[in-house]
Amino acid sequence: MTVRELGHDIYWIGAIDWNRRLFDSLIPLPEGTSYNAYFVKGSEKSALIDTVDPSKEFEFVCNLIKLGVEKVDYIIINHAEQDHSGSLPMASELFPEARIVVSEKCKDLVVSLLEIAPERCLVVKDHDTISLGDRTLEFFMAPWVHWPETMLTYLREDKILFSCDLFGSHIATSTLVVHDVAEMYHPAKRYYAEIMMPFRMQIRDHMKKIADLKIEMIAPSHGPLYQPPDPILALYRDWISDTVKNEVVIPYASMHGSTEKMVLHLAGALIDRGIAVKPFDLTKTDLGELAAALVDSATIVIGTPTLLFGPHPLVANAAFITNLIRPKAKYATVIGSYGWGGKTVEAVKGMLNHLSAEIIDPVYVKGAPDSACLRELEALAERIAAKHREAGLLNDSPPLLP
Ligand code: FEO
């Protein structure tokens, strides 16, 4: 347990989960995570901002005791997902006089998920404020980062934005405040990819909404805080933009080596044309790494053999997740081999129906890749290069060897 002071009478009272390795029974957490909760004391009233995962409830209570918190007037719940709200039932019993401050939708969720009495809730709307005396909390509705009820809380006088999951990262670290965003580039990007990327259009709107706020510190609900905030805001502006890189991501599986041979040949042909490649063998891949690679790649090539009548299940899973997280790739295609038939290409294309990517003609062959297949793959590499050139991602003079 630990309490960290962010400023006069502003404290981090969350929990670091060093050993958690899976979130939502889906997202790998190779570096653990943290559940950030905060306590703010004003001259007249005090507020808790979020709670922690129920597995860390004991640490949370210890932090409150360590800090000597005897009275809480408001419990702000920016997000109803249980890793932040799961200790709310305990906190609401511990501080029975506290009003639970929520968005309208969040009220519905804390009542249904956590059995919070509706009369305890104080519903706030966009730009509503609560005075703590010499401090003011202002609320910004920010639905779909990444649930429909999410909101941001701005501590006006101290210029701190408590951003809920937005701008977070899954990492267990003793670093509370990051001053050099480069340290957090990869964890922050991976987290964005896994959780925020499907909602990049909504995040654009939210970032416009907070653009005029004077923010000195961003305090998300996972991972370190950012001071100054501009570098993480700049990264997000890039990730949510329509800009893509001259890069091809190739998630694939291969049963007897044919599809892998095709993937490696295509990868070499793309490199020859000046295009960066990121192949991912799905029998070995951490899906979070694949998600991070998908954030800004221009093209996705799915490599799969036909297993009985359709794609390999590892590929189907990766395609399903890709479709869920909706990368901004401009082009996609399929390569692989089959033994006796099936509808693999059509099945994979159908699994990518949420992407706005243009589908480039696939290369799907019977049996082991022969020299004709390898030439087809080189032609595919050329088609991809032409698309990248058209999109201004690749120079007109590719560095092809004679
Ligand atoms: Fe970190 Fe959506 O909860």
pLDDT digits (tens, 9 = 90+) for 220-236: 999 999 999 999 999 99
* Residue 242, helix vs strand vs coil: coil
CA distance 285 to 321: 13
Domains contained in the chain, number? 2
Task: Show the tokens assigned to 128.
Answer: 């509503």
CA of 182 to the centre of ligand 1 (A): 23
- pTM exceeds 0.85 for this model: yes
Pair 96, 140 in one domain: yes
398: in domain:
no
Kindly state whether residues 275 and 198 are assigned to the same domain: no
pLDDT at position 177 is: 97
Can you give the pLDDT at residue 1?
78
Q: Are 309 and 341 in contact (CB under 8 A)?
A: yes
As averages over each run of 10 residues, the pLDDT of the chain (402 residues) reads 94 98 94 98 98 98 97 98 98 98 98 98 98 98 98 98 98 95 95 98 97 97 97 98 98 98 98 98 97 98 96 98 98 97 94 97 97 98 98 75 52
Q: How far is CA 107 from CA 76, 325, 371, in A?
A: 11, 27, 63
Boundary-marking domain end, from 217, 239, 261 = 239
Domain ends where: 207, 222, 239?
239
pLDDT at 84: 98
By residue range, what is the domain housing residue 197?
4-239
For residues 358 and 331, what is the distance between their CA atoms, to the nearest angstrom? 5
Please give the number of the atom of ligand 1 that sits closest to the Cα of 147: 2
Shared-domain flag, residues 218 and 253: no
- Does 258 lie in the same domain as 148? no
In the chain, the amino acid numbered 239 is W
Instruction: Please answer whether residues 355 and 349 qualify as being in contact, where contact means their C-beta atoms are separated by less than 8 angstroms.
Output: no
Q: Is the omega angle on the peptide bond into residue 146 within 30 degrees of 0, that is, cis?
A: yes
257 and 114 both lie in a single domain = no
What was the pLDDT predicted at 38?
98
Look up residue 69 and give its amino acid: V
Cis-peptide, bond into residue 228, ω within 30° of zero: yes
What was the pLDDT predicted at 396? 67
Q: How far is the CA of 219 from the centre of ligand 1 (A)?
A: 14
Structural domain includes residue 50: yes
Round to whole Å and give the CA distance between 50 and 35. Answer: 9
**What is the CB neighbour count within 10 angstroms for residue 147?**
16
- The gap from C-alpha 198 to its chain's centroid, in whole angstroms, comes to 8
The label of the residue with tokens 């490599």 reads 303
Nearest residue by C-alpha to atom 3 in ligand 1: 81
Whether 277 and 252 share a structural domain:
yes
End position of a domain, from candidates 192, 212, 239: 239
Q: Which two tokens stand for residue 169?
A: 């990262």
58 Ramachandran zone, left/alpha/beta (phi>0; psi -120 to 50):
alpha
165 Cα nearest atom in ligand 1: 1
Please state whether 342 falls in left (phi above 0), alpha (psi between -120 and 50) or beta. Answer: left
Q: Which residues line ligand 1 (CB under 6 A)?
A: 79, 81, 83-84, 146, 165, 221-222
Dist. CA 148 → ligand 1 center (Å):
12
Dihedral sign computed on CA atoms, order 14, 20, 24, 30: positive
Q: Examine the domain organization and report whether 49 and 152 are in the same domain.
A: yes
Q: Which atom of ligand 1 is nearest to the CA of 150?
A: 2
